[in-house]
Amino acid sequence: MKPLHELTVAQIQQQLIEKKFSSREITQHYLNRIDTLNGDYNCYITVDASGALAAAEQADQAIAAGSNAPLLGVPIAHKDIFCTKGLTTTCGSKMLANFVSPYDATVVSKMKTAGAVMLGKTNMDEFAMGSSNETSFFGPVKNPWNLETVPGGSSGGSAAAVAAQLAPAATGTDTGGSIRQPAALCGITGIKPTYGRVSRYGMIAFASSLDQAGPMTKTAEDAAILLNSMSGLDHKDSTSLDTAVPDFTATLDESLAGLKIGIPKEYFDQRLDTAMADAVQASLAELEKLGAKLVDIELPNSALSVPAYYVIAPAEASSNLSRFDGVRYGYRCKDPEDLEDLYTRTRSEGFGDEVKRRILVGTYALSAGYYDAYYRKAQQIRRLIKDDFVRAFEQVDIIAGPTAPSTAFKFGAKTADPVAMYLEDIYTIAVNLAGLPAMSLPAGQLDNMPIGMQLVGNYFAEQKLLNVAHQFQLATKWHTSTPTSLKG
Amino acid sequence: MSINSEQVANTAKLAKLKINADEASEVAERITAILDLVDQMQAVNTEHVEPMANALDAVQRLRIDQANPSEDPQARRAAFQTIAPATDQGLYLVPKVID
């Protein structure tokens, strides 16, 4: 039998029901691994051993009683952006280092209802602002494939935890690529659903019109299983979609014969490393062998997505982060002289440099006289970007290309130049602006480091994406490849 | 578009952030680099394009403004105030605002 940490969520579900092992056994197994190995990777900010074991005991009783809750007894990790009642939720920031939420995020409560056992909370870029996990107040996460390189961000702790087999699956959030880019850099599978598919209630807000939660897993099948439990209308989130949620696992086995895959020429231009392009092309050829047809398409406004995003996201962040003022919860500066000093020192001491930078950009873009030139202009460009995708989806079923321009880079390589870091998300950001679903899956390696392929679907087409990814994973082995550091 | 140290200081004031004098020029430089990136938008004619806030052009759902009777307001307030930096008799404490 395989070691427990090598099992997928689907295999854990099956073997728990067959009583090959108990939820307590697999939960304890993961807690032991975390205890031994988390110091090497820094994936977790908080580990909840007693809570996890209690939940596992409960799950074992429910299994014995014949319950068939979909994630019953399966250990998972939550990104530390999701509020968890009674357990610290830091959002990777000094500002919330002591914050214990009085309620659960909807994603957390839904997965709890589905029977999942939470191991702990994973590290992330501060307030999800970053593409390398280097902005976390709790120190950077290391990429299990090469400890000198970043895991990507902002959901880098979740991605590294799955890659290092310190959790079979984890949740993430994606505002400009924060599920897909770390999934690509750590060699795992991750999906950002259609905007509104998963409730944002209790998910600490960065840019509300772009933020969306999704699963990060070893396989597309696992992503489908988790997404089933995460999705659905929530009256506590006014942008949550009132749309039926299909069973995302029901269509995994459909044939890809006749599937039309759009290849945007803009995603394979001179900015993409040739070796990266070759690897993605080889994976696209695999999809052709499965019956798909590749169609050249154009997304002419895609180069504008990064500029538009760096107005919209900071503008929304500057508004969302105004709530951190040292009055009701979180960090408060010592001995404030007056109210102004309380606000200013609390925020200046509580936020890190990148968060302050984005608040300043956002405040500037929204300040008197600049609204039309920046925010309104960016929202107009956002429509042009959406219209490009709408036209493309008249010709094709899905769109494919690279997830990130390169494999994982070294710590410090992009920290001095915020714009270089922002361009890390050049292929992922347009999808958030348009509100579309997209995923990343392992699709090759370069110098033993994983490469991600991005699949973008039309609105509500998560089933199609997961189907394509699952068929690809049945035909290839990239997703089963694990970091060499784990083999010792 | 470039932003100078003085504009950074004004913006910081609006955002309730303090930028130390010795950091101001570096912050201005980095924000200028971001604004240069953002300014690529200005090359595009968007004269007749409707701004888009939500891709599905969804409007926010409204609900009736009424208290939820399943929640005990006292218990709720107590739960929320246990995590506050300073409270007294159900009130949040801040430095004196009026002399």
Q: Does B58 contact A378 at a Cβ distance shorter than 8 Å?
A: no
Q: How many structural domains compose chain B?
A: 1
Model pLDDT, residue A1? 79
DSSP assignment of A138-198: T-PPPBTTBTTB---SSSHHHHHHHHTTS-SEEEEEESSSTTHHHHHHHT-EEEE--TTSB
Task: Please tell me the distance from the alpha carbon of residue B18 to that of residue A156, in angstroms, as a whole number.
Answer: 29
- Which of B51, B36, B73, B25 lies closest to A312, judged by CA? B51
Q: Does B55 contact A348 at a Cβ distance shorter than 8 Å?
A: no
Residue in this structure with the two tokens 């439990």, named with its chain if needed: A229
Residues of A in contact with B97 (CB under 8 A): 338-339
Q: Going by DSSP bridges, is the β-strand pair A398-402/A449-457 parallel, antiparallel, or unpaired? A: antiparallel
Q: What domains does chain A contain, in order, with CATH numbers?
A: 4-235+248-258+465-486 (3.90.1300.10)
Evaluate if residue B66 carries a pLDDT over 80.
Answer: yes
ipTM given for this complex: 0.94
- Which of A253, A262, A150 lies closest to A464, judged by CA? A253
Model pLDDT, residue A487? 60
Model pLDDT, residue A488? 47
Whether residue A199 lies in the annotated active site: no
Q: Determine, yes or no, domain membership for B77.
A: no
Q: Does A384 contact B3 at a Cβ distance shorter than 8 Å?
A: no
Residues of A in contact with B36 (CB under 8 A): 419
Give me the amino acid identity at A100. V
Give me the domain span that covers residue B10.
5-43
Q: Which residue of B41, B42, B68 is the best one to mutate when testing the A interface, meaning the one whose CB has the most A CBs within 10 A?
A: B41
In contact, B57 and A239? CB cutoff 8 Å: no
Q: Determine, yes or no, domain membership for B39.
A: yes
Model pLDDT, residue B32? 93
Residues of B in contact with A418 (CB under 8 A): 30, 33-34
Q: Determine, yes or no, domain membership for B60.
A: no
Please state the φ and ψ torsions of residue B87, each to the nearest 5 degrees.
-140, 165
Q: Determine, yes or no, domain membership for B94.
A: no
Q: Determine, yes or no, domain membership for B64.
A: no
Model pLDDT, residue A92? 98
Residue in this structure with the two tokens 């600490």, named with its chain if needed: A204
Q: Does B52 contact A308 at a Cβ distance shorter than 8 Å?
A: no
Taking only the tens place, the pLDDT of each residue in B37-56 is 999 999 999 999 999 988 88
Whether residue A79 lies in the annotated active site: yes
Asked whether the CA dihedral A301, A303, A308, A309 is positive or negative, the reply is positive
Range A46-85 burial, b when 16+ CB lie within 10 A, else e: bbbbebbbebbbbbbebbeeeeebbbbbbbbbbbbbbbbb
Model pLDDT, residue B73? 85
Residues of A in contact with B38 (CB under 8 A): 307, 310-311, 365, 374, 378
Residues of B in contact with A383 (CB under 8 A): 49-52
DSSP assignment of A38-56: HHHH--EEEE-HHHHHHHH
Closest chain B residue by Cα to residue A421: B34
Number of cross-chain residue pairs from A and B with Cβ atoms under 8 Å apart: 163
Model pLDDT, residue B60? 79
Q: Which stretches of chain A drop beneath a pLDDT of 70?
A: 487-488
Q: Which among B11, B33, B86 has CB closest to A360?
A: B11
> Is residue B14 packed enough to be buried (19+ CB in 10 Å), middle (13-18) or exposed (0-12)?
middle
Q: Determine, yes or no, domain membership for B52.
A: no
In contact, A77 and A120? CB cutoff 8 Å: yes
Task: Please tell me the distance from the alpha carbon of residue A482 to that of residue B70, in angstroms, as a whole number.
Answer: 49
Range A276-314 burial, b when 16+ CB lie within 10 A, else e: bbebbeebbebbeebebebeebebebbebbbbbbbbbbb
Q: Determine, yes or no, domain membership for B18.
A: yes
- Chain B nearest CA to A352, separation (Å): 11
- Chain B nearest CA to A234, separation (Å): 11
Q: Does B55 contact A434 at a Cβ distance shorter than 8 Å?
A: yes
Q: Determine, yes or no, domain membership for B89.
A: no
Q: Which among B31, B52, B97 has CB closest to A357?
A: B31
